Structure 1
Amino acid sequence: MALIIKYIIAGLVRYWLIHIDYWQTIANRVEIATPLNSWKRLVEGVFLYDHNINPYEGDAFHESPIMLIFFHYLMKNVPYLLPLLFTTLDLLTAYLLFKTSKSFIKIFMESQAKNKCEVAEESYKLLLIESELEESAEYVLSTYLFNPYSILNCAGMTTTVIQNVLVAASLWGASTGHAILACAFVALATHQALYPILLIVPIAILLADVNKGCNKCSYIKTLLAFVLCWGFFIYISAYIMDGSYNYVYNTYGFILTVPDLKPNIGLFWYFFTEMFEHFRLLFVCAFQINALALYIVPLTLRFRKEPVLLATVLIALSTIFRSYPCIGDVGFYLALLPMWKHLFKFMQQKFIVGCAFIITSALGPTVWHLWIYSGSANANFFFGVTLSFATAQIFLITDLLFAYIKREFTLKHGSSRRIDDKPAILLLR
């Protein structure tokens, strides 16, 4: 009953925000809307398509053709249902994350029981019981439903709402062993935003663990299913555009080359605004390698036994370093963190990171107003806030990973520290 009340309250808040007089202001905020997910650009793309003009010939529309035809149908036939649709999809995302965390509880308990023989006797108190993990699932639900980032993202009716539900569905499918569902949803999310392609690695590992098929053949099958699904969506998109693949440049190409330098909460826009043009290609490649390829191998090798943690970290890193991030992306991965509530006691920077999130979230709109409307600030002020926001996120992720390593070490070796068979003493001189 308590869960139903949470859904109702969260849904009403989202639906109410979509209908208030300030909705247009919310939908156009740079922290919420980007050139990729903006509702305003989506409406423009649908308008052009409806008048037999290719929306990909200009620089206004960058969503996939599947999203274009989907919203074209809705706007033409049931436009009054759009606020309800976005609210429902956001609540569905919360529900899928809740079910994913429930499945993760079973996986974690099985892993803990299997490795119990390796736990030091004095570290038994760190072993978790199922009731503690059940609380984590409820925290995941509440964090997504009542996170201001997620609420404002839904209220702005951005297409990130759809991306979030697709990623959540892929994680749920992987955690329950439904390989085709997981691959199809992550392929559709990749087709929309490209960066979810990173998730195929933890999803493949998670599917192999859940289905007890941890071998090369299992990984290859998952990868093949993903490639086939992605290829199918690319073909369908070309079919929608009368057999033309020209849309690829204005979707994937737009994400990779970053031609639109409108300010957002990311790191790309300021660097490429200030950069000499002849260095652009070098730094575009460096930035995109950092976002898409740099961390996948080392993190997979180190955290291959915890694919859910690996997925959480990869989602967070792709959010921080992608070309057009928004607070909806941030709200999504923050909702996954309560699954790792048992690591919080090993984290050292919770207070600093929490303060940084609050301060930068308040300063961002303030500095933006001073820069754009008052003229008493400049781009350096706003970029300083976004850089601090990104730094806080990086501290959060690194602190979480170090906390996992600390707990893993303590479980195996115990919490006591001895040097030459004598208790270790820390002396400050």
Structure 2
Amino acid sequence: MDNLMCLGYAVAGYIRYWLLNSDYKQTIGDRVEISSPLNSWRKVTEGAYLYSEGINPYLGENFHETPLGLFVFHKMISNIPQLTGFIFIVCDLITAHVLYHTAQLFMSELFSRQMREKEKYAKDAETLLLKQSDLVLPPVYVASAYLFNPYIIFSCISQTTTVFANLCLAFTFLLMIKGKRLACCSVLALATLQSLYPVILLVPASIYIAKAESRRSLRCSSFILTAVTFITALHLLLYISLKLAGGWEFLHATHGFILNVPDLQPNVGLFWYFFTEMFENFRLLFICAFQINATVLYLIPLTLRFHGEPMLLATSLTALTAIFKSYPTLGDVGFYLALLPMWKHLFKYMQQGFVVGCSFLSTSVMGPVVWHLWIYSRSANANFYFGVTLAFATAQIFLVTDILFAYIKREFSLFHGLHREVNGKTTKLVLE
């Protein structure tokens, strides 16, 4: 298995290296589905140039990377420009390897919990139980789903900063499942500083850390300590950013840009079309409604229902953020798609797999086609492209709800059995 994984890393690295040095790089990098104002490498190079000339890049409207990122990228561009593409490839491979280890730990945890609760399960639920052999392939599938996902490959080829955001998220998931409070909160603070939305992962991280410290019950003091650690790490990063930037202008250019959505360049999200068509008088109302929907709206209900499965909770929140955030890209979608093989045992309970698969395939093809018809041929308009992005978002929502319902169905069957009768007749469990 180790030899197979090494071969997979080598092949995935070669694919990325070949595309980075091909004529397709510029074409892929210009796609609005891949690059956004927040993650575009072109904007990073512009900001680094202004920084090298002694000009504050945050005084304009084109640069939206954090001061910490600006400092690192400036050093990278100035000192080792020939290794920039190689760094992106290595970071992508490291992310896949971190997710591989995360999946290994999760599958072991899942099997251990199953053994502890086995006596509580129904007698006829034996066929639903995971076997030791079922723990081997899911981590391989997770790494493969990240290494060979076109969404992830295109993000790496475009040299978007989503590559580094995914790396931070991957380490957050790994440190979360290990119960490492300080390291997890520090990496999560770094991810939050970059793109704001990962802050909601503090809830599943707190649950995991509390479970690691106390196997019997979740203690409130553990949650408070985790929150304080995260806030302290975030304030430290903000202080470092303040010293690097020489002022607080970067907050308006980074987090303010994410929250206010001033740039309405089309993307795979839902913000741009609504705010293009909306009356300016209602902008603040819709900004608040859309941002609440992208952050805290689903946090409390999902936490109350899936607090016993914090990894599924974290994945669901990551997926919902990728769907509803203000400037989503395909790299965000590819990250949570790579996590889904950890719940391979739930796939047989899913009912929308065919519809979701066809929707992903058709929208991925139709997006560039409709964009060409709209921008270049002038035979379509914004409604056509938004229709594709709306279908893409709908497919993702179906996927998330399907995996959550599948978990509930399996959990119900484990404790109540596979065969159910009402008034002497066999019934089927249907969630509506």
TM over 0.5: yes
In the alignment, structure 1 residue 294 sits paired with structure 2 residue 297: yes
In the alignment, structure 1 residue 405 sits paired with structure 2 residue 408: yes
Change (3 A) 1:425 1:210: closer
Q: CA offsets per residue over residues 284-323 of structure 1, 9 Å max, x none?
A: 0000000011000000000000000000000000000000
In the alignment, structure 1 residue 115 sits paired with structure 2 residue 117: yes
Q: CA offsets per residue over residues 255-278 of structure 1, 9 Å max, x none?
A: 000000000000000000000000
Q: Deviation at 1:111?
A: 1.4
Q: Deviation at 1:114?
A: 1.8
C-alpha separation between the residues in 1 aligned to 2:146 and 2:310? Answer: 21
Q: Deviation at 1:423?
A: 3.1
Alignment of 1:13-162 (within 5 A): 13-162=15-164
**Corresponding residue SS for 2:62:** coil
Change (3 A) 1:138 1:100: same
C-alpha separation between the residues in 1 aligned to 2:78 and 2:326? Answer: 32
What is the one-letter code of the residue matched to 1:269? W
Q: Please name the residue that 1:240 is paired with.
A: 244
Q: Please name the residue that 2:285 is paired with.
A: 282
What is the one-letter code of the residue matched to 1:235? Y
What is the one-letter code of the residue matched to 1:259? P
Q: TM-score, normalised on structure 2?
A: 0.97
1:335 paired residue among 335, 338, 342: 338
In the alignment, structure 1 residue 223 sits paired with structure 2 residue 257: no
What is the one-letter code of the residue matched to 1:345? K
Q: Deviation at 1:208?
A: 1.7
Identity of aligned residues (%): 53
Q: Please name the residue that 2:376 is paired with.
A: 373
- Higher mean C-alpha displacement, 158-167 vs 14-23: 14-23
Shift >4 Å, 4+ stretches: none
Q: CA offsets per residue over residues 380-410 of structure 1, 9 Å max, x none?
A: 0000000000000000000011000000111
C-alpha separation between the residues in 1 aligned to 2:169 and 2:228? Answer: 19
Q: CA offsets per residue over residues 17-75 of structure 1, 9 Å max, x none?
A: 11112211111110000000001111111111111111011110001000000000111
C-alpha separation between the residues in 1 aligned to 2:384 and 2:325? Answer: 21
In the alignment, structure 1 residue 395 sits paired with structure 2 residue 398: yes
C-alpha separation between the residues in 1 aligned to 2:132 and 2:230? Answer: 33
Structure 2 runs not aligned, ≥5 long: none
**Corresponding residue SS for 1:35:** coil
**Corresponding residue SS for 2:308:** coil
C-alpha separation between the residues in 2 aligned to 1:150 and 1:35? Answer: 18
Q: Deviation at 1:210?
A: 2.6
Q: Deviation at 1:212?
A: 2.8
Structure 1 runs not aligned, ≥5 long: none
Q: Deviation at 1:181?
A: 1.2
**Corresponding residue SS for 1:115:** helix
What is the one-letter code of the residue matched to 2:188? V
Q: CA offsets per residue over residues 350-383 of structure 1, 9 Å max, x none?
A: 0000000000000000000000011110000000
Q: Please name the residue that 1:261 is paired with.
A: 264
**Corresponding residue SS for 2:27:** helix
C-alpha separation between the residues in 1 aligned to 2:110 and 2:207? Answer: 14
Q: Please name the residue that 1:192 is paired with.
A: 194
**Corresponding residue SS for 2:58:** coil
C-alpha separation between the residues in 2 aligned to 1:218 and 1:100? Answer: 22
C-alpha separation between the residues in 2 aligned to 1:381 and 1:84? Answer: 37
C-alpha separation between the residues in 2 aligned to 1:346 and 1:22? Answer: 40
C-alpha separation between the residues in 1 aligned to 2:251 and 2:210? Answer: 32
In the alignment, structure 1 residue 252 sits paired with structure 2 residue 219: no
C-alpha separation between the residues in 2 aligned to 1:40 and 1:83? Answer: 14
Aligned residue pairs, count: 424
